[in-house]
Structure formats: structure tokens, C-alpha cells
Structure 1
Amino acid sequence: MLKSISCEKLIQSSIQFKLGLNAVVGADDAHNSIGKSSVLMLVDFAFGGSDFPTKCDDVIKNVGHIEVVAEFVFDKSYFFMRSTQTPESVYCVEEGRLLTLREFTAFLKEKYLTSASEISFRDCVGGFFRIYQKNNYNHKRPLDLTVREKWEVVRKRLLKMFNMYWTIAQLEQERAAAQKTLKDINGTFNSGAVKQITKVQVSKNDSVIGKLFDEVELIKNSLKRNVTDIRSIINEQSLELKQEKDALVAHKLSLQTQLSRVESNLGNAKVVNSKAFQSVLTFFPEVDSDKLLEVESFHTGITNILKDQLKAEQAVLIEALAAAQSDIAQVDSSLLNLLDSREDSVHLLERLIDLDRHQNDLIQQNRYWALSADAKNEIKKLKADIDLVLENSITEIEQNLNVGVKEVITKIYSNEAISPVLTLGVKDYKFDHGDDRGTGKGFANMIALDLTFLRLTILPSLVHDSLLFKNMDTPAIEHLVEIYSSFSKQIFISIDEVKKYKVSVQKIITESMFLKLDKDRMAFKIKWKNAK
């Protein structure tokens, strides 16, 4: 629990708290601008909130930066010092070192919620510290931490607060793993390492694989006369030799193409006379035959100039072709050595290697199709499981909250009071106030919801500013104060006009009061504005 806060800038430098209700009490004339809300914001700051430096900047502007020492009591007392000048760090007095704000709130989580809890400390309490400056008191959207927060975020926080998220989290981890597997499989397809096929193609592949298997068996039987271990011929060495021969054959074809082109250029180096242009002139009489001869003479001259280079290139290509043919012969010889048999066995070996490679390709295609299909089915199944668990969990939360809210509203008002209905839908939630839509009743409904959370969930504390009570009638506030006082968890409120309540309620407020403020006793000693 938060035991105390100390701040030299406050009218009361040390403030003590206790379990249950804690109240900062305002003036009997409901005078504003005395600092009640700012004090509650300082409580939020002690709990690791980040809003005070920006949303209470008027305080800092008029009294300077605030330094607060917060004492928490769990198994023992823990002291922390925090300043608005360096809000991202917290000084741990016991350890004599600075903590990051994240480390500090992690400490609060461990002590208040346990470190195994699924929700962060600030996510847990942030929406239930309803203070004027935080602007988080829209009674139509009471579950939002920020304005129009996404329902998926709100829903996830709800599940965590009721300790129902762990099952969904486990399923989501499994779905993420399946999605990663599918992504990896698709990456293999996209890289071209394995061809992506359809379900129809899988059946066709199975048929082809069967035929390939039969042909492989026939070749194996043909080779058994000369090879004792058939699989030894389909090893890495033979595959490499086959791939090498394929590359050499392709290289040989390329060289032959180049040689053919060179020899064609050499063979066409002839002088074309004027008679050769007669067919052209017959169809195009306007063409100047002398010009044609000049162009042809130019081409002939160029060819003569390059003739030596073409002949040199021809010689290089012929030599390269001879080398390629020699390399192919060496590969064939190596294959023959593997078989230790006749030359025709080489062709059987090559065919066997091709068949084996093709068969493996088709098997891989089918295997990866099956892996992809399994991953997709797993993702689909996990999504259905997540949706079912989510639906059941949200329905249970909705029912429990509505029952709890109705109980609180009945205590605040009566059995005849209209109770709000919280609906947690697929795409959003709704907090329906029914036909009783006054501002005071709307805030009362929201307070009832907060108190239900305090009772049913791991929520350790809540803060309610006096603005939530402004439009509520006196008897309702009296009943509410009595409800507050029944809780052992810490509740911080600000409240005005205490004397208008019945004596028993005045006593509760007085006993829970940690600070009294009025127009002559302002929270930060001085006044700098006339209205809130």
C-alpha cells in the first residue's frame, strides 16, 4: 500500500494514508481552485503516473518543480523519490540508486499484482485513476484509457485484468509459430528452390512419381549385372559429374553458335556488283544504284579490315570447342569408371540420375504443399479456438460486471434504480445507461463499474475526483461513501461540502481525511487562479 508522500511544496509536507478510503476534503462552500485535483494527481505521480509534469504544469510554473518522496509498505517499507524535473527516473532510497520509470512500475507490479501477472501496473490502474486533469471520466466510454481507444486494446486489457488472457496468449503464440512456418514455406516457394503447386498438381505429381519409380527400377535392374550397389551410382559424385556434363554440353552449343556466326561473316565478304541491285531497282526505281554500291563497298571494306580478327576468333573458338569436347569425354570416362561397364551404361546412369532428380523435385513439391496446407489448417483451427475462448471469456466478464454494477447501483439508489448494461461486442463495447441519462446518474454508473472492477479483479486501487460527485444527489453520495469505506483496497477521493451529509457519513469522511483544504489553506500554499 501507499503509506505516505512527502513534499515540501505542499501545505502539509507529509501526508499519511491507510488501507481503505482516503479523502482530501475541500471547503464547505465547494470552493474550487484550492488544489484537490492536483493533490490526487500527485498521488498518481507517486504511483508511477506520467501526467503531472504536463497536465499540472500550472503548479510547476507557480511553485517550481515538485519533488516527492513516496513510502510503500509491503513486506517492509520502501522509499522512492521522484521529481517532475526528471520524471523518467526514480531514486530508490534503500538501494541508493536511480531506477528507470519502467523499473519502478515493474516493482509496483511485482508487489501489487505479482510479476507473473499478464498486465502492466500502469495499464491496470491508469483507467481507474479518474482525475479532472486526466480527462478520463467519459461515462459513456468508461473502459477507455485514451479517447476512442481501439476495442481490441480494451478487450485485451480486460482479459488480463480478470486473469483470462493466458489461455488466449498461449494459443496466439502457437498461431504465431504456425504463421512463421507458413511464411518460411512461402519464402522457399518465392526463392524458386521449390515450385509452388496446387492440390490438383499434387495428384498429378503422385502419378508421375509412380511412373518414374517404375522406370528407375527397370534401369536399376539393367545395371545390376555390373553394379552391386545401385544407390552408390546415385551419389554426390555422380550427380556432380552429370551436372558438369550438362554445363559442358551447354557451353559446347554456345561455342558452336559463335563459330557459325564468325564463319558466316567470313564467307560473306564478297564484292557485290551493280547487277545484284537490279531486282531492287525494278521495285524501287527512285533508288540511286551508285549510292547502293558505295554502301556495299564500305561494308566490304570493313569486313576486309576485320578479316584477320575474325580468323583469329575462329581459331580460338575451334580450340575451345576441342577443349569442351575433351572435357565431355573425360566426364564420360569418369562415369564409366563409376560403372566399370560398357559405354551404353553411361546413358543408363545419366537417365537414372535425371529420373532420380526429377522424382526428388516432385516429392519436394508435394511435401512442401502438404506442409503449407498443414500450416494453413493449423492457423485456421487456432483462430477458431482463439475466437471461442475469447467469446466465452468476454461473455463471462460481461455477466460478472453487469451483476456487480447492479449490486452497487442498488446500494447507491434503490431496487427501483435503472442499472446500466455493459455489452462487450465483437467490434466494440457499449455502456448503456438506459432511460436514466442524467449526468449524475451517468457518473454513478461509472463509479459502480469501477468499484466492481476493484472487487472482482487484480485492480489494487482507484482514485475518484470530486467532479464525479457534483451532479449526484446527497443521499446517493452518502451511500457511495459508505460503500467506499467497506473496501480494504486503497481508494483516494476528493470531496466537498462535508457538512451537508448525515453525521455517520461525516464521521467516515473525517476519519479517512488525509488533507483538508479551503480558500485559505491551498494545497501548494499559494493561489494563482480564480476558477478551475
Structure 2
Amino acid sequence: MLLEICCDKFKNKAKKISFKQGLNVVLGENDASNSIGKSTFLMIIDFVFGGNDYVDKLKDVQRNVGLHTIYFAFEFDEERHFFGRSTERTNEVLVCSSSYKEIKSWSLERYYDFLKEKYQIDNAYISFREFINTFHRIYHRENLHEKMPLKMYDADSMENALNRIVKVYDSYGPISELQRCFKEKSDMYSALGKSIKMGFTPKINKLKYEKNLKEKERCDKEYQELTDELRKNLITLDSIEPETIVPLKRERSLQKIRLSNYRAKRAQYEDQLNSKVPSSILNEKFLSALKTYFPDCNERKIQEVDEFHKKINKILESEIRETIAYVDTLILQCEQEISSIDEHIESMAKERNVPTLVMERIGNIFSKKELVRKENESYERMASLNKEKKSLKDRLQGQQKEILENIANRINVYLSEKNSCLFNVDKNPPAIFFDSKGYVFSTFNDDGTGTQYKNLILFDLCILEQTKLPVLIHDSVLFKNIADEPLENLFKQYDVCKKQVFIAYDRLSTYSKEIQNLINEKMVLHLGPEQEALFGKIWSDKTT
């Protein structure tokens, strides 16, 4: 558990803040004073657990407090561990003595591994920060979406959110291999598609594929007829050396395909060169017309932009010409290789006294067969990958659906049970429902703001109880719209948590004596205006 936090920049009465197991309250004033440091202190707790938002998002704190180091201690199995984190070097954690003398430094990754091990999160599929990050709900962070409790940050995707909740519930193992295989097949399918698009792999449709099959049959038949003809003339194909001529013809066919692709590529680059946008459209007539419609236009800036575009065009033209020259080299190499193969075949025919026409027929047969083979192989490979990809996707979605349904059932049973503890009358409980595209989290017939935030708190308490989530942080902004009765009962739910929970709260006097006593008992830090603020001052007031 987190034992304490120290900083010499804190106000005099708060140089060292000690924590307890269970609920820990950062308490503000009854008038709900702003900018006294409640949310900031929760950010510091997140900083202690390896987050960076304290430095990255609270720029006013860094500007007014200056560089400082947060020191802190954990206790695991009756053994204490002392650390520090500087706002200047956020990528490292200082390992300290019990008096907070710096001994050495760890990388953040090593520190995360340490916390993951000590909190006994034996889950290989999720990092420590990924596990806890969503459930540190503090003002300025991007996870205060009351209807989207799995959203870690604004740009977080549904796919990531669904994968993460499966990992949090330690149920990711059965689908991890399926996801790996699906990604592998998808990448192979995409790579082959790009190869076809670039012209390096033949592209055919089903109709062409079927025509190729018939063409192969025709080639086989022609080959058999040629064999019969040669036998009649006492010349066998064995004497014509299939072992020698076939590889030559196969290589010739490959070179022909490459040559065709290179010529197509060269034509594309020529088209780009010929259709290039004119390097400049500026002239006196153009500028005069422009000023007619835009008399305040900055002619110098327009000319600067035009000069920039001229330079870009020259660079592009130069690159295209260099590419064409390179492709020309490849074309020449292919032509020379084809010519060399032809000469070789012709010399073989002369040496063995085989008619040149026969040699040509043999070569044409094998060239054609090689072409249709490559085309059909490409088609079959694409079809096979697509089929495998679809099969894996169906299996993955089926497995994920089953796991998410089980998780939803566990969560919804908890939400129904705990929701009934918050009211004196029966109220519809919140529920979460998953599908392959995402999830819905709501209460039937109740879309009120207070209800939604109450639901979010119950959801987090559920995750805290049902998983290995080690700690929960809730800022006061979550409580603002919740009615008194459910909020007082939520505090009681916090109080029975066995793991550490950190909340910020104010307006204590508006609640029952029972709740006031509870909050005061669990209070670890009391903040107020001016000197009673976290850093002993408030910098939001306008100075003259």
C-alpha cells in the first residue's frame, strides 16, 4: 500500500501526508473553495503511481511552484520501500533510503514492474499503467466520461477499451493467440494486396483464373502432342533436356513478367512527369487580377509561397527523373537477360540437332504454363488468406463475445446488488452490455446527470472488488450532481473497501453527522484558502 507522500513545497502542516488502508479523503472547505489543491494532490498520487499528467497537464503548478521532487513510500508484506520522482526528470524514479537520501535511479519501466509484482498483478497481457490508468479519475484527465467508463483518454478506441477490460479481468489469454494469428493473416493479405497494386504480383479475377485452368490443360495437351511427334521422329524430350531447358524457360518467363512490370512502372512515372503542375502561375496579369478581388493581399507573401512551390516542384521532378533512370536500368537488365537466355536455348538446339521450331514450341509451352501458374498462385493465395482471415475473425469475435458476456454478467450482478444499497426505494440499477463494436452503459428510464455519475462510481468500485486493480482515485467533480441519499451511501461503500481509495471532497457540513464523522475519520489532508492551500498559496488571484 502507499504509505506516505512528502514534499518540501507543501504547506507547513502537510510536509508529510500519511495514508491508511481503505478510504483516504482529501478534504476541502464547506464553501467548496476552488484552486486550493484537492485535484492537484490527487494528481500527485497518480504521479506517485507512475503517471505523468501532474507535470504534463498542470502547467500552472509547475510554473508557480517550480521544479520539485515528490518523495513517497510503499509498504508490502511489512517491508517499506522509499522512492522519489522529480518534476524535472519524469522518466526515472529515485530509489531512496528511509530518510529519503537518494541511492540510485530506476527507469519508469522498472518501477512499473516493481509495482506490478508487489501488487501481485500476475497478468502478462497488461502493463501496470494500462491496468490502473482508467480508474484514476481526476479533473484535467480525459477519463471522466460518465457514460463511457472504459474510456482511458479522448482518442481511446472501442477496440482498445474492449481488449483492456478483458485484460483487467484476466481473461485475455484465450483470445490473445487468435488476435495474433488474425493480425498476421491480415498483414499478409494487406502486403500481397499492395504487391498486386504496385504491379509486382499478377492480378486476376475469378473469370481469368478459370480461363487459366483451361489454358493449362491446353498447354499440357500441346506438350503431349509434341512428345508424340518427337517420338515418331526418334527424338525424345529427354534428349532435348527438360532438366535444362525448363529452368531456362521458367527464368525467361519470370524476366518477361518483370520486364512488363518495369515498363508499366516507367509509363506511370512518365505520366506523373508530363502531368506535373506548372511550377508557377504568377505573372503581372495574375497579380493584377488578384488585387482586384483582394486589394489587401500580401503580394510579397504570395511570391514567397510561389518560390517555395517552385523549389518543391524541382525536387519532385528531379526525384521522378532519377526513378525513371533507375527503372530504365532494370528494363535493360531484363532485356539483356532474356536475350542471353534465348541465345543459350538456340545454341542448345544446334548442339543437339533439334529443330529450332521445336525448341520454340517447347519454350512457348513452358512460358505460358509458368505465366498462368504465377497468376493462379497469386489468386489462390489471396483467396486462401481471405478465407483464413475471415475464419479467424469469426472465431475471435465468438470467443470475445463469450468472454465479454461473462464479464458483463459479473459486473451487472454487482451493480444491481450495490445500487439497491444506495436508496430506500427500489431503483433501476445501471447495467453494461457489450457487442463486437463496443458497449452501452446506462440505467433504464433514468438518464439524469447525477445517476450517470453514481453509476460510474459503482462501476469503478465493482472493478476494484472483482479484479486485481490495486487502487482507486476519485475527484470531487464526480460527486457534484449526485443526490444526498445515494452519495452518503456511496461513502459507506468506499469505507468498506479493503484496498486503498483516494477521494477529494468538500461541503462536508451539508451531510449527516454519521457521514461527517466518517469523512473526518478518513481525512488524510485538509486544504483551505491562502496559506492552507496545498502549496501554501493560491496563484489564481489577480495581482496588481
- Structure 1-normalised TM-score? 0.72
Query: Partner letter of residue 64 of structure 1?
Result: G
Q: Distance in 2 between matches of 1:188 and 1:437?
A: 51
Q: Which of 509, 534, 541 pairs up with 1:523? A: 534
SS at match of 1:417: coil
Q: Distance in 2 between matches of 1:226 and 1:361?
A: 27
Corresponding residue for 1:375? 385
Instruction: Check conservation: 2:250, 2:370, Cα contact below 8 A.
Output: no
Q: Which of 38, 42, 45 pairs up with 2:44? A: 42
Q: Distance in 2 between matches of 1:471 and 1:183?
A: 49
Structure 2 CA distance for partners of 1:43 and 1:212, relative to 1, 3 Å: same
Residues matched between the structures, number: 447
SS at match of 1:132: coil
Q: Distance in 2 between matches of 1:331 and 1:464?
A: 81
Structure 2 CA distance for partners of 1:14 and 1:329, relative to 1, 3 Å: closer
Corresponding residue for 2:277? none
Corresponding residue for 1:2? 2
Output aligned runs, 1:254-269, within 5 Å.
Answer: none
Q: Which of 45, 53, 56 pairs up with 2:55? A: 53
Q: Distance in 2 between matches of 1:9 and 1:349?
A: 92
Query: Partner letter of residue 522 of structure 1?
Result: A
SS at match of 1:523: coil
Corresponding residue for 1:239? 248
SS at match of 1:494: strand
Instruction: Check conservation: 1:37, 1:131, Cα contact below 8 A.
Output: yes
Q: Residue 494 in 1 paired to residue 504 in 2?
A: yes
SS at match of 1:134: coil
Output aligned runs, 1:382-401, within 5 Å.
Answer: 382-401=392-411
Q: Distance in 1 between matches of 2:66 and 2:194?
A: 59
SS at match of 2:14: coil
Query: Partner letter of residue 71 of structure 1?
Result: A
SS at match of 1:377: helix
Structure 2 CA distance for partners of 1:408 and 1:530, relative to 1, 3 Å: farther
Query: Partner letter of residue 421 of structure 1?
Result: A
Q: Residue 407 in 1 paired to residue 417 in 2?
A: yes
Structure 2 CA distance for partners of 1:128 and 1:226, relative to 1, 3 Å: same
Structure 2 CA distance for partners of 1:176 and 1:494, relative to 1, 3 Å: closer
Q: Which of 99, 102, 111 pairs up with 1:104? A: 111
1:393-422 deviation line (CA, Å, top 9, x unaligned): 333333332222222221122451232333
Corresponding residue for 2:336? none
Query: Partner letter of residue 40 of structure 2?
Result: S
Structure 2 CA distance for partners of 1:240 and 1:510, relative to 1, 3 Å: same
Q: Which of 487, 490, 503 pairs up with 1:480? A: 490
1:99-154 deviation line (CA, Å, top 9, x unaligned): 44455335434444646442333333223222234364342343333347543333
- CA positional deviation for 1:375: 0.9
User: What percentage of residue pairs aligned between the two structures are identical?
Assistant: 30
Q: Which of 171, 177, 201 pairs up with 2:178? A: 171
Q: Which of 438, 453, 460 pairs up with 1:443? A: 453
Query: Partner letter of residue 535 of structure 2?
Result: F
- CA positional deviation for 1:82: 0.9
- CA positional deviation for 1:501: 5.6
Q: Distance in 2 between matches of 1:133 and 1:397?
A: 29
Q: Which of 103, 113, 123 pairs up with 2:130? A: 123
Q: Distance in 1 between matches of 2:43 and 2:480?
A: 19
Instruction: Check conservation: 2:7, 2:70, Cα contact below 8 A.
Output: yes
Q: Which of 81, 84, 93 pairs up with 2:84? A: 81
Output aligned runs, 1:283-298, within 5 Å.
Answer: none
Per mean C-alpha deviation after superposition, the further-off stretch among 134-143 and 367-376 is 134-143
- Structure 2-normalised TM-score? 0.70
Instruction: Check conservation: 2:141, 2:153, Cα contact below 8 A.
Output: no
Instruction: Check conservation: 2:450, 2:481, Cα contact below 8 A.
Output: yes
- CA positional deviation for 1:68: 0.6
Instruction: Check conservation: 2:227, 2:237, Cα contact below 8 A.
Output: no
- CA positional deviation for 1:49: 1.9
1:425-449 deviation line (CA, Å, top 9, x unaligned): 5555443344455544332222111
Q: Distance in 2 between matches of 1:328 and 1:447?
A: 79
Q: Distance in 2 between matches of 1:148 and 1:379?
A: 27
Instruction: Check conservation: 2:250, 2:366, Cα contact below 8 A.
Output: no
Query: Partner letter of residue 19 of structure 1?
Result: Q
Q: Distance in 2 between matches of 1:15 and 1:328?
A: 87
- CA positional deviation for 1:493: 1.5
Specify the structure having the higher radius of gyration (Cα). 1
